[in-house]
Amino acid sequence: MAVAADLILQMFNDMRQAQLALPGVTDASKELVNYLISDPLRRARQRRETNSEAVMALARAKIGDQPTIPSDEISETNTRPILEATMDDDRKEFQEIWACLLAKTATGHLRGFRREFIKTLRSFEPIDLLVFRYLYGVTSPVGPNKYCNIDGIIKFVESASHESGANIYRNEIEISLSHLTSLNIFTKPSNSIGIERLASTAYGAQLYTTAHSN
């Protein structure tokens, strides 16, 4: 991952070293501290290291032979929340996204990135990520100012999920759409009457573009 990736790895190592430090304890309380604090923290640290290593491996694969940018062009302000997400999230569906963001950072392709994107993505459940991808794909029935009624959207997502083997159903999709709308991924018309309709948003479109491979 050349120079830019080296900086990202160094930032990760610095963050790992800075966390989970315990103050000194007496011999009498050592066993209790180990049971209540040290062991759970050690396991948490091991999980975070495993998560990060998996994401870093995916990022390296995505970078491949692409040239990377000089380390002084890497924004620590933007990179730190991505690294924090890689350590905290063990969901494989999301590790792919964190790896994509790190690869784009290292190659200078992280355009249109907003730090709030990380908070939005971390509030997704796996089903939300599926619905998001289906409805921002090229065959989606919704678009900017292109409203589609909820029933049509649900049928589209059901069909797409069955084709991909995910097999998600109406109630799950309705809950996901409600959550994604609250995150400004979708929007309702201000004068909606009768059957509820949704359209995509500029925020959702930019998030989709930023968080997925070109």
- Confidence (pLDDT) at 20: 47
Report which of 129, 66, 138, 55 is spatially closest to residue 99, judged by C-alpha positions: 55
User: How many CB atoms within 10 Å of residue 109?
Assistant: 15
Say if residue 168's pLDDT is above 70.
yes
Give exposure, 36-51, as e/b (b: 16+ Cβ within 10 Å).
Answer: eebeeeeeeeeebeeb
Residue type, 80: R
Q: Report, at the CATH architecture level, how domain 123-211 is classified.
A: Orthogonal Bundle (1.10)
Q: What is the pLDDT of residues 53-112, one digit of tens each?
A: 888 899 999 999 999 888 888 888 888 999 888 888 888 889 999 999 999 999 999 989
The DSSP string of 4-22 is: HHHHHHHHHHHHHHHSS--
- Confidence (pLDDT) at 179: 96
Where do the structural domains in the chain lie, given as residue ranges? Answer: 2-111, 123-211
When pLDDT is averaged across residues 15-25 and rounded to a whole number, the result is 53
Structure tokens given for 146: 């292109």
Residues 6+ apart with CB under 8 A from 88: 48, 51, 122
Q: Are 107 and 70 in contact (CB under 8 A)?
A: no
Q: Are 69 and 49 in contact (CB under 8 A)?
A: no
The lowest-confidence range among 31-45, 62-76, 90-104, 188-202 is 31-45
Band (pLDDT 50/70/90 cuts) for residue 12 is low
Q: Where are the alpha helices (DSSP H) in the chain?
A: 2-18, 27-33, 39-63, 76-88, 92-107, 116-122, 126-135, 150-164, 170-182, 202-211
User: How many CB atoms within 10 Å of residue 67?
Assistant: 10
Q: Are 198 and 181 in contact (CB under 8 A)?
A: yes
